[in-house]
Amino acid sequence: MAYKILLVEDDADFGFMLQQYLAFADMTVVWLQNPLELAATMGKEGDFDMAIFDVMLPHISGFELARSFILDYPDFPFLFLTAKDQRIDKLSGLKIGAIDYMTKPCDPEELVLRIKNIVRRSAKKVEKQGLLHIGTYTFDHRRLLLKPAAGESIRLTEREASLLAFLWENRGCLLTREQILEKVWGHVDFFTGRSMDVFISRLRKYLQQDDRIKISSVRAVGFEIRFNV
């Protein structure tokens, strides 16, 4: 399975080397040398599996960056990879919420194994909590909450949540109107069909922050949700 990693590292040589090595390990790395670009990058490409932060960065320290980051992404896994090897630094990083803290120079094979372990544990935790990542959104079906990357969470109705879950589970597939109505409404008639059209419009509005998510309609046939990378 290919992982998508966000790397915040200002050292050009080390960043390039790390990006290339992780690519050999079947990982896609989006590399930022300027930490101030983090928010924009998460908004544009927020479907990351985890992040790696240096500590000594320009403009803002990695610790400060992480503190700000977890306010918007409290459950997002990240580790620090840094030359700061003092015990007090490691403890500071772990207290902030990092899953791991590694020091440079590091063993690339060890880093790859730690990344894989972190992503696997995080995926199991998300699955257990009933969470889905839909582009830059976090969807908590159990609590009926849809949280965008920026802004307040959206409280869904039970039917909105069921409709979104069904579409996302079948993303890339054209679902007929009858399939959706049977699954989400439990029966098919003129009035439930009109109701479904209204609910589809609501979901499009809720998901408009991420323009890679498209709910397309095929006239008289049905709907399809796509995530365009």
Nearest to 167 by CA among 135, 218, 203: 203
User: 77 near 99, Cβ under 8 Å?
Assistant: yes
* Secondary-structure percent of the chain, ordered helix, strand, coil, rounded to 5: 45, 25, 30
Mean local confidence (pLDDT), 176-199:
93
Q: Which two tokens stand for residue 41?
A: 């990058």
Tell me if residue 103 falls in helix, strand or coil.
Answer: strand
Whether 30 and 89 share a structural domain: yes
pLDDT at 124: 63
Whether 115 and 23 share a structural domain: yes
The confidence band for 151, taking pLDDT boundaries of 50, 70 and 90, is: confident
Q: Rounded to an integer, what distance in angstroms lies between the CA atom of residue 193 and that of residue 195?
A: 5
Whether 88 and 164 share a structural domain: no
Identify the DSSP state of 194. Answer: H
Residues of the domain holding 7: 3-129
Q: 135 in the Ramachandran plot: left (φ > 0), alpha (ψ -120 to 50) or beta?
A: left
Residue 126 has pLDDT above 70, yes or no: no
- Cis preceding-peptide flag for 148 (omega within 30 of 0): no
Whether 67 and 165 share a structural domain: no
The confidence band for 130, taking pLDDT boundaries of 50, 70 and 90, is: low
pLDDT at 3: 84
pLDDT at 129: 55
Residue 146 lies in a domain: no
Query: Which parts of the chain fold into alpha helices (H)?
Result: 12-24, 38-45, 62-72, 87-96, 108-129, 158-169, 177-180, 190-206
Q: Which residue has the higher pLDDT, 46 or 173?
A: 173
Task: Return the percentage of the chain with pLDDT > 70, whole number.
Answer: 94
Instruction: Report the predicted TM-score, pTM, of the whole model to 2 decimal places.
Output: 0.59
Cα 181 to chain centroid distance, Å, stands at 29
Residue 80 has pLDDT above 90, yes or no: yes
Whether 114 and 12 share a structural domain: yes
Q: Total domain count for the chain?
A: 2
pLDDT at 131: 78
Q: Which two tokens stand for residue 91?
A: 């403890």
Tell me, what CATH number does 177's domain have? Answer: 1.10.10.10
Task: Return the percentage of the chain with pLDDT > 90, whole number.
Answer: 64
